[in-house]
Amino acid sequence: MTAAKLKFAIDDGSTNVKISWIDNGELKSLISANSFRKDWKSAALLSDKRVFNYAIGATKYTYDATSDKALSTTHVEYQYDDLNLLAVHHALLKTGIEPCPVSIVVTLPITEYYNADDCQRNEANIARKKANLMRDISLNRGQLFQIVDVEVMPESLPAVLTTLVDSGVSEFTKSLVIDLGGTTLDMGVVVGEFDEVSAVYGNADIGVCMVTDAARKAMAAADSDASYLVASELVKRRQDRDFVSEVVNDESKIDWVLQKIEEKIQELGAAVAYEAKIFARNPNRVYLVGGGAPLIADAVREAYATLGDKVMLVSQAQSALAREICCYHAEDADAA
C-alpha cells in the first residue's frame, strides 16, 4: 500500500466542500462549491483559466461554476455518488498542493452516521461512503490526488470541540449544537466537555436550499436564469446593491426579488427555531454552525431569549467543522 504523505479534513457537504489542512504548522482552509455538469468544457480561451474535465467510468463531467445545468447535489444520496467523488477531488486540487497520496477525513450527516433507533454507528453507511471515495476517477490533462485512506466522522457536533473545551463548561452543562447546511438541519446535545452526546436529530427537509431555490425562482422571473451557486451568492450578498444589479437583469424586479428572499429567510428561521425548541427545550447553551447559521441566528436567539449571549454564532460558521476536525486529528498525530 502507498503511504499517505498528507492528511486533509474534508467536510463534504451537499452544496460546499470545506477543506482544512496543516501547512508548516499553520491551519489552512478553503471552501469549494459543488457545481458540476455532464460532458466536458472546451479548452479555456485564456491560458490562466484552468478547465477541469473529469471522467468516472464512461461518464464525463466538468466543473462549471455558472451553468444553470449544474447537477443537483442537495439530496442525501449525494453522499455516495459520482458527484461526491468529484467534489472531494476538486476540493483537493483547489488547495494548490502538488497531487500526491493522501489520507482524508470526511463527514456524513448525523442521521446517516448513526442509526436512528439506537444511536449506534451505521457501519454500512460508513463503509459505503469510504468505498465511494476510493473509486477510480481521472482528470483530462492533469493529475489527481490518490486517496489511500478514508476516515468518516459525523457532521455538526465536532464543530464545537475546542469552543466547548475553552469555554469552561461544567460537567452538567447541556449544549445544543445546531448545524444548518444547504440541504439538512442537524442538531445534537452535548453534555459537559463532550462527556456524552445525549441526543441527535436530523431533518433533510430544512436547509438553506429553501432560500436558494426561492432566490433562483425569483431570479428566473426577473429574466435571470441562474445556477445554484449564483443564487446562493445573491442570498449572501443581498445587501450589496451593486452585486444584486449585476446578477438580476430586470432592474424593475430587484426589490421584489430581495423581498422574496427575505420572506424565505424568515420562514427558514421560524422552522429551525420551532424544531430546535421541540428537540431541546431548555439547553444551557446554544451553538450555531454551518453556512446557514448567520441567516437564522436572530430567530434562534429569540426562541431562547433567556439564554442571552449564551446563544452563540460560531465564527466562520461554514468551515468550523472542517477546521475542528483538522485540529483534532493533528493533535492525535502529535500524541501518537
Give 40 or 243: the residue with its C-beta nearer to ligand ATP: 243
In contact, 309 and 288? CB cutoff 8 Å:
no
In angstroms, what is the minimal distance from the CB of 62 to Mg ion? 24
The count of other CB atoms within 10 Å of the CB of residue 245 is 11
Give 200 or 295: the residue with its C-beta nearer to ligand ATP: 295
232 in contact with ligand ATP (CB under 6 A): yes
Give 173 or 291: the residue with its C-beta nearer to ligand ATP: 291
Give 48 or 242: the residue with its C-beta nearer to ligand ATP: 242
224 in contact with ligand ATP (CB under 6 A): no
Q: Choosing among Mg ion, ligand ATP, none, which partner's interface includes residue 154 (Cβ < 5 to 8 Å by kind)?
A: none
Which of 20, 133, 318, 324: binder of ligand ATP (CB under 6 A)? 318
Which of 84, 212, 224, 227: binder of ligand ATP (CB under 6 A)? 212
Give 62 or 318: the residue with its C-beta nearer to ligand ATP: 318
Segment interacting with ligand ATP (CB under 6 A) among 124-132, 164-172, 214-222, 230-238: 230-238
Q: Give the C-alpha separation, 44 to 51, whole Å.
A: 6
In angstroms, what is the minimal distance from the CB of 176 to ligand ATP? 17
290 in contact with ligand ATP (CB under 6 A): yes
For residue 251, give the C-alpha cell.
432592474
Size of the residue set binding Mg ion (CB under 5 A): 2
Measured CA to CA in angstroms, residue 88 lies from 8, 109, 137, 139 at distances of: 10, 16, 11, 13
Segment interacting with ligand ATP (CB under 6 A) among 83-91, 133-141, 206-214, 250-258: 206-214
Give the contacts of 157 (CB within 8 A, at least 6 positions apart): 110, 177, 188, 190, 197, 200
In angstroms, what is the minimal distance from the CB of 143 to ligand ATP? 26
Map 3-41 to HEC letters: CCCEEEEEEECCCEEEEEEEECCEEEEEEEECCEEECCC
Segment interacting with Mg ion (CB under 5 A) among 11-19, 126-134, 248-256, 280-288: 11-19
Give 188 or 290: the residue with its C-beta nearer to ligand ATP: 290
The count of other CB atoms within 10 Å of the CB of residue 44 is 10
Q: What mask of x and - would describe binding to Mg ion in positions 175 to 214, judged by CB under 5 A? A: ------x---------------------------------
13 in contact with Mg ion (CB under 5 A): yes
Give the contacts of 271 (CB within 8 A, at least 6 positions apart): 206
What's the angle, vertex CA 321, arms to CA 329 and CA 162, rounded to 5?
65
Q: Tell me the Cα Rg of the chain.
A: 20
Which of 106, 176, 235, 268: binder of ligand ATP (CB under 6 A)? 235
111 in contact with ligand ATP (CB under 6 A): no
Picking from 134, 77, 74, the residue whose alpha carbon sits closest to that of residue 106 is 134
What does DSSP assign to residue 183?
S
What's the angle, vertex CA 98, arms to CA 71 and CA 51, rounded to 5?
35
29 in contact with ligand ATP (CB under 6 A): no
Give the contacts of 99 (CB within 8 A, at least 6 positions apart): 92, 93, 143, 144, 145, 146
Q: Give the C-alpha separation, 60 to 84, whole Å.
A: 14
Chain positions contacting ligand ATP, by CB under 6 A: 13-16, 155, 181-184, 207-208, 212, 232, 235-236, 290-292, 294-295, 318
Chain positions contacting Mg ion, by CB under 5 A: 13, 181
